Amino acid sequence: MDYQKIIEEVYEEVQSENLRGKVADYIPELANVDPIQFGIGLVDLDGNVFGVGDYEVPFSIQSISKVHTLVMVFHVFKSKLWSRVNVEPSGNPFNSIAQLEFEKGIPRNPFINAGALVITDALCSKFENPIEQISNYINELSGKSCVRINSSVKESEKNHAERNTALAYFLKAYQNFENEVDEVLDVYFSHCAMEMSCVDLARSFSFLANDGYSIFADREIVSESHARRINALMLTCGFYDEAGEFAFRVGLPGKSGVGGGVAAVMPHKFSIAVWSPELNEKGNSVKAIRALELLTDKLSFSLF
């Protein structure tokens, strides 16, 4: 399979379509990125790297980091974790608070903000230096030291944190939050403000395409059964209220972030990250989704 040729074709086709969206601006610092950047990085299971466009430019991974933190926490707490967070698609925006009351403080899934805050809370209970641990973990998965926290993005989000703070206090009111709200939010904003390039992000997701074994870390990160479950969660919940559409158009487990990145895996074949900052109204990158749709069409395979 000539992945390099295919992603170059995809890149050209997407560029010719002139798709536009809107850069996230509720975190003001994210609005300062150059909106026309676009990159695709793909890594196969032999570790070969394929890239086009801005695939080596670091960008704000935002909610894609929720996959890394979930993997860390799932590994420690195993199935006990699911008493604190459910595994159902929410059909609601990523920052919605509505369902949390009906479901008595148990978030619908670990990828909406409420669920990710529970995961970060669990990380804070387990690790002394959670921010350092998360960075080290992602670096290990990528096989190199590539993670940098952008402190301006972190501060920018911290200064506009009303919704996430409300979610955290709501969780605390239902006794589903063990640590201090400010402490957990600080860790949450730090992992959302991590920056990586498409190619390094694809490397960090490679173990999910490889039954839990990372060729870059050279060890089993999670069991095969845990890898399948993380992929199922990405497929059903990775794009919030657009998860159905992503499954329909692309058909791969994946996760988006409001920095404009999408990471996805084709089990037993490759992991891929696509980045372009302009988002649709659901907060997912317009070009990244289109690129992945064209990719699975050209490859003639997806999970389905």
Residue of 73, 258, 262, 286 marked active site: 258
**Residue 157 counted as an annotated binding residue:** yes
d(C-alpha 288, C-alpha 266), whole Å: 16
Q: CB-wise, 67 or 199, nearer to ligand GLN?
A: 67
Say how far apart CA 264 and CA 246 lie, in whole Å. 11
Q: Which of 11, 55, 213, 240 is catalytic?
A: 240
Catalytic residue among 63, 90, 156, 285: 63
Task: Assess whether 240 carries a catalytic annotation.
Answer: yes
188 catalytic per annotation: yes
Query: Least CB distance from residue 160 to ligand GLN, whole Å?
Result: 9
Q: Is 76 helix (H, G, I), strand (E, B) or coil?
A: helix
According to the annotation, is 240 in a ligand binding site?
yes
The alpha carbon torsion through 57, 59, 64, 70 (nearest 10 deg) reads 90
**188 marked as part of a ligand binding site:** yes
Is 49 labeled as ligand-binding? no
223 is catalytic: no
Alpha helix segments (H runs only) across 45-129 = 65-77, 98-102, 113-126
In order of 84, 193, 258, the CA distances from 118 in angstroms are 7, 18, 20
Q: What is the DSSP letter of 21?
A: -
79 annotated as a binding-site residue: no
Q: How far is CA 20 from CA 23, 33, 39, 274, in A?
A: 10, 15, 15, 16
**Closest CB to ligand GLN among 204 and 210?**
204
Q: Is 213 a catalytic residue?
A: no
Q: 169 catalytic, yes or no? A: no
Q: Is 143 left (phi over 0), alpha (psi -120 to 50) or beta?
A: left
Q: How many CA atoms lie within 13 A of 61 on its CB side?
A: 31
**Minimum distance from residue 271 beta carbon to ligand GLN (Å):** 19
Instruction: For residue 266, give both structure tokens.
Output: 């084709």
Phi-psi region of 27 (alpha: psi -120 to 50; beta: other; left: phi over 0): beta
Of the pair 94, 177, the CB lying nearest ligand GLN is at 94
Report the residue number, 119 or 258, with the smaller CB distance to ligand GLN.
258
CB of 264 to ligand GLN, least distance (A): 15
What is the smallest separation between the CB atom of 194 and ligand GLN, expressed in angstroms?
A: 11
Q: Least CB distance from residue 292 to ligand GLN, whole Å?
A: 17
Nearer to ligand GLN, 11 or 170 (CB): 170
**Annotation-wise, does 63 bind a ligand?**
yes
Residues at the site binding ligand GLN, with contacts judged by CB under 6 A? 62-63, 94-95, 113, 157, 164, 192, 257-258, 283
Residue list for the binding site for substrate: 63, 113, 157, 164, 188, 240, 258
Active site residues per annotation: 63, 66, 188, 240, 258
Residue list for the binding site: 63, 113, 157, 164, 188, 240, 258
